[in-house]
Structure 1
Amino acid sequence: MTGPFTAHDRLLFIGDSITDSGRDRSDPRSLGTGYVRRIAARLTAPTVLNKGLNGNRVYDMEARWATDVLAERPTVVTVKIGINDTWRTFDRGLPSPIDRFRAAYTSVLAQTRGHLPADLFVITPFLLPVKAEQHSWMDDLAPRVEVAREVAAEFGARLVRADLVMPRAAADHGAATLAPDGVHPSALGHRILAEAWLDAAGVPPPHSWAHADEPGPDHQVRARPASGPLP
């Protein structure tokens, strides 16, 4: 299934460890085991590239934008960033002032608009608190969600509201089921993220849900019917 995409499209996903999801950085075809791979499994025509990098804050992503995004000449760019800007504030004392966060986020989308005729997607950051101290992170994360929403509107990007989709699903499944540490998605969490992106992209759902809870090598997804409809 290709939906709105063709064999001429190059879909590039960039962000932190949620996008990285264990990809083999020595292999440009490696997609990791997360939501990017699940999206690629549903889109048979376009080229899909994963440029997620574990530990990235928005400034790290900005520093590699020219080489990891612009040089690849993608036709679709998806950005998911922000949770490490909050997390590092609390666990390492590395603040990420919201004005600097906004400037860096604006910069990468402006560069893309200035250099590429690419469609843009923005996935908002999310947190599913599973530890008592993580509840205090929400006040820091909330303005980053707003920045993601605002820059998406400014640059005409399609918005994927992970900050809404994931908590809604957690109400049914439990936060730890979707993200055992509150941040990194489980197989089900990645599946929900993938479906949210596919919905925003206008890709119709399959007749029966299929996903890989135990992914094999890249591009060889072992699919099996899901136990029920996506929340």
Structure 2
Amino acid sequence: MKKYLFLFLIPMLAFIAPAKKKKVIFFGDSITQAGIRPGGYIPRIDTLAQKAGRGQDFDWIGAGVSGNKVYDLYLRLEEDVLDKKPDIVLIYIGVNDVWHKDKRGTGTDFDKFGKFYEALVRKIRGIGAKVIVCTPAVIGEKKDNANPQDKDLNEYSQWIRDFAAREKLQLVDLRSIFTQYDQSNNPQNLEKGILTNDGVHLNDIGNQKVAEAMWKAISE
């Protein structure tokens, strides 16, 4: 009897569907746009997933556009995120909202930044996706708040931390990770070249730091 039961179960097992992969979208600006390229933080996250034996658990989708600010993300949210029905969305925005105030005379006012950010999260959560929020890392790598935009960047980052705590969102605090690393590894107080190529966009070490921090949040 056991033999016949086993033979009956074999074709049944063949029709069991494999576990559905979790769709992960990285939503951001040029840092994310570059992050999907070879050597970027998204392929590095895939490498970490493979090492953990979870490489087949996820599909990674980069949705970064150069120059984007928080309201740009809001405008392309439907097409680039919601329509794709993700399971997890990482929001990594804020650098241009601060940087472009001085660089181009644009940017995003502090109060508007928060309102757009809240609207993004509300809509993503509305489709049942998990949201992971990230603080913007650096605009210049000098220590002790010696970079021109450090004051604003600290304020915007603190808003994201407070928002994450209030809404019980997972937080990847890249601002803290980068400034702490620069504090210990930038003895000449250079403006760039420690974790970035130009003070903003990531070099190999910066990409690896972001990958490790994001993978920790995703895998949890």
Q: TM-score range by the shorter chain?
A: 0.7 to 0.9
Which protein has the bigger helix share? 2
User: Does structure 1 conserve the Cα–Cα contact (< 8 Å) formed by 2:35 and 2:41?
Assistant: no
Which amino acid in 2 is paired with 1:181?
D
Question: Counterpart of 1:13?
Answer: 26
Question: Counterpart of 2:110?
Answer: 98
Tell me how far apart the structure 1 counterparts of residues 90 and 184 of structure 2 sit (CA, whole Å): 27
Q: 1:39 aligns with which of 45, 67, 82?
A: 45
Tell me how far apart the structure 2 counterparts of residues 10 and 108 of structure 1 sit (CA, whole Å): 18
Tell me how far apart the structure 2 counterparts of residues 39 and 106 of structure 1 sit (CA, whole Å): 26
User: Does structure 1 conserve the Cα–Cα contact (< 8 Å) formed by 2:98 and 2:153?
Assistant: yes
Tell me by how many angstroms 1:143 deviates: 1.7
Which amino acid in 1 is paired with 2:31?
I
User: Does structure 2 conserve the Cα–Cα contact (< 8 Å) formed by 1:105 and 1:151?
Assistant: no
Which amino acid in 2 is paired with 1:118?
A
Tell me how far apart the structure 2 counterparts of residues 167 and 136 of structure 1 sit (CA, whole Å): 14
Tell me by how many angstroms 1:7 deviates: 4.2
Structure 2 residue ranges without an equivalent (≥5)? 1-18, 50-54, 187-191
Question: Counterpart of 1:141?
Answer: 153
Tell me how far apart the structure 1 counterparts of residues 100 and 135 of structure 2 sit (CA, whole Å): 18
Tell me by how many angstroms 1:189 deviates: 0.5
Relative to structure 1, the CA distance from residue 134 to residue 71 in structure 2 (aligned partners, 3 Å threshold; closer, same or farther) is farther
Cα deviation digits, residues 92-113 of structure 1 (max 9, x gap): 1114111100000000000011
Relative to structure 1, the CA distance from residue 21 to residue 177 in structure 2 (aligned partners, 3 Å threshold; closer, same or farther) is same
Q: 1:123 aligns with which of 121, 134, 153?
A: 134
Structure 1 residue ranges without an equivalent (≥5)? 1-5, 24-30, 204-231
Tell me by how many angstroms 1:130 deviates: 4.5
* Residue 198 (structure 1) aligned with residue 212 (structure 2): no
User: Does structure 2 conserve the Cα–Cα contact (< 8 Å) formed by 1:110 and 1:155?
Assistant: no
Cα deviation digits, residues 7-55 of structure 1 (max 9, x gap): 42101111011111075xxxxxxx5542112112223121110101111
Tell me how far apart the structure 1 counterparts of residues 217 and 109 of structure 2 sit (CA, whole Å): 30
Aligned 1:143-162 pairs, distance under 5 A: 143-162=155-174
Tell me by how many angstroms 1:139 deviates: 1.4
Tell me by how many angstroms 1:128 deviates: 5.2
Q: Which runs of 4+ in 1 moved over 3 A?
A: 130-134
User: Does structure 1 conserve the Cα–Cα contact (< 8 Å) formed by 2:139 and 2:150?
Assistant: no
Relative to structure 1, the CA distance from residue 97 to residue 40 in structure 2 (aligned partners, 3 Å threshold; closer, same or farther) is same
User: Does structure 2 conserve the Cα–Cα contact (< 8 Å) formed by 1:20 and 1:32?
Assistant: no
Tell me how far apart the structure 2 counterparts of residues 156 and 12 of structure 1 sit (CA, whole Å): 20
Relative to structure 1, the CA distance from residue 136 to residue 129 in structure 2 (aligned partners, 3 Å threshold; closer, same or farther) is same
TM-score by length of 1: 0.75
Q: Which has the larger radius of gyration?
A: 2
Tell me how far apart the structure 1 counterparts of residues 213 and 106 of structure 2 sit (CA, whole Å): 31
Relative to structure 1, the CA distance from residue 32 to residue 117 in structure 2 (aligned partners, 3 Å threshold; closer, same or farther) is farther
3-state SS, counterpart of residue 194 of structure 2: helix
Relative to structure 1, the CA distance from residue 32 to residue 74 in structure 2 (aligned partners, 3 Å threshold; closer, same or farther) is farther
User: Does structure 1 conserve the Cα–Cα contact (< 8 Å) formed by 2:69 and 2:107?
Assistant: no
Cα deviation digits, residues 178-224 of structure 1 (max 9, x gap): 11321111011010111111223346xxxxxxxxxxxxxxxxxxxxx
Cα deviation digits, residues 66-106 of structure 1 (max 9, x gap): 11110010001100000101110011111411110000000
Q: 2:195 aligns with which of 158, 171, 178?
A: 178
Tell me how far apart the structure 2 counterparts of residues 131 and 164 of structure 1 sit (CA, whole Å): 14
